[in-house]
Amino acid sequence: MKSIRQNIDALLSKRPNLFTRVTGISLLLLALCSFATHHESHGQQLRDVFRIVQPAVVMVRTQQIGLAPYPQQGLVSSNGLGSGVLISNDRVLTAAHLVESTDRTVVEFSQGELISATVIGCALSADVALLELDHSPANYSVAKLSDSDQVAVGDEVFVVGAPYGISNTLSAGHVSGRRVLNNGNSSANIEFLQTDAAINSGNSGSPVFNLKGEVVGIVSNIMSKSGGSEGLAFAASSNTVRRALLDRKPFWTGIEGVRVDGRLANALNLPQSAGILVQRVAEGSIAARSGIRPGTLRANVEGNEVILGGDIILRVNEMLVEEDCDLDRIYGRIAQLKPGENLVITILRQGKILKLAIPISQ
């Protein structure tokens, strides 16, 4: 009589695929269980980090008076909506394009508290701005800025903001790339993190977090043909934000302007190759106090809408506006002034060159 061992050996020799099939199924089940466990663990981690950082994320509401859209006439009040993140008891980071010429800014916290804020810094090249709250919120949680040099393509990140005004919305994705804009000064390079996390209107100024709950970027814009998220968005890196607004004295002009050069500069009779055509001026800003006048007539110039009739800035404290100039560097002359010194802005107004001077009070 054959032994049990011999019977097993005979069975396996006749059915060589049986062991392989059983082993393959076992490995598949093991892999599925491992994936499910990892996925559940990752989801739990994301939930826990979101609960920690969510109180620091705010909605930024703006209001400004400007020209009515064509063909309407006169002035209208318009409202803007974006996001931001609290980084101290009274300071919020957001997007510059949201607040660069706003007349009134209000920050709304996750528990519904509303606090008025003042723009104290704008870095247009990086599209980031710094707000100062009128007072600290009753209960607040601040977010920590990360060292974005440690961020790598492929890292998992998530965005918290208010797309279309829906607050406390989370979207997750990865860092898809790193893009550096060189504006001619290597020490002032602007870096953007590219991400495939879903970002829509209302996410401007939203913080981008790593899985430690640290801010690695501030959302700037999306590239989209439909107007909605298509998986291609950009955020100023946290180190760029730090260099532009936190490591030096911040400044805010209150000017929304466009650089004009070439044929348009010639058509406007500029006495030099380029200038800054003023579109809007925010109430209470240093530009408003100095007497800068905004545009008065909407026009379409070679497919681009501009507002004509406003002052054209030629110099700021004798620093010439040139065709390849960095507007942040031009406006940055204001931040270098000390209390008691004069800010002198040379403008072209209705064909005449004027100098406007205002003393710096603080």
Place of tokens 């007539």: 297
97 catalytic? Reply is yes
135 catalytic? Reply is no
Pairing outcome for strands 207-210 and 215-222: antiparallel
User: Cis ω on the peptide bond leading into residue 71 (within 30° of 0)?
Assistant: yes
**Of 195, 115, 215, 200, which is closest to residue 166 (Cα–Cα)?**
200
**Of 338, 334, 332, 335, which is closest to residue 356 (Cα–Cα)?**
334
Catalytic entry in 83, 101, 103, 127: 127
Catalytic entry in 167, 176, 204, 290: 204
Compute the distance between CA of residue 348 and CA of residue 356 in angstroms, rounded to an integer. 11
User: What count of residues does the chain have?
Assistant: 362
**Of 260, 257, 258, 255, which is closest to residue 323 (Cα–Cα)?**
260
Return the bridge partners of 66, or none: 76
**Of 248, 236, 291, 258, which is closest to residue 121 (Cα–Cα)?**
248
Return the bridge partners of 188, or none: none
38 catalytic? Reply is no
Pairing outcome for strands 352-359 and 91-94: unpaired
Tokens coding 237: 């890196």
**Of 130, 127, 145, which is closest to residue 328 (Cα–Cα)?**
127
H-helix segments, the chain: 4-14, 16-53, 96-99, 238-241, 262-267, 286-290, 327-336
Compute the distance between CA of residue 65 and CA of residue 218 in angstroms, rounded to an integer. 26
| Active-site annotation, residues | 97, 127, 204
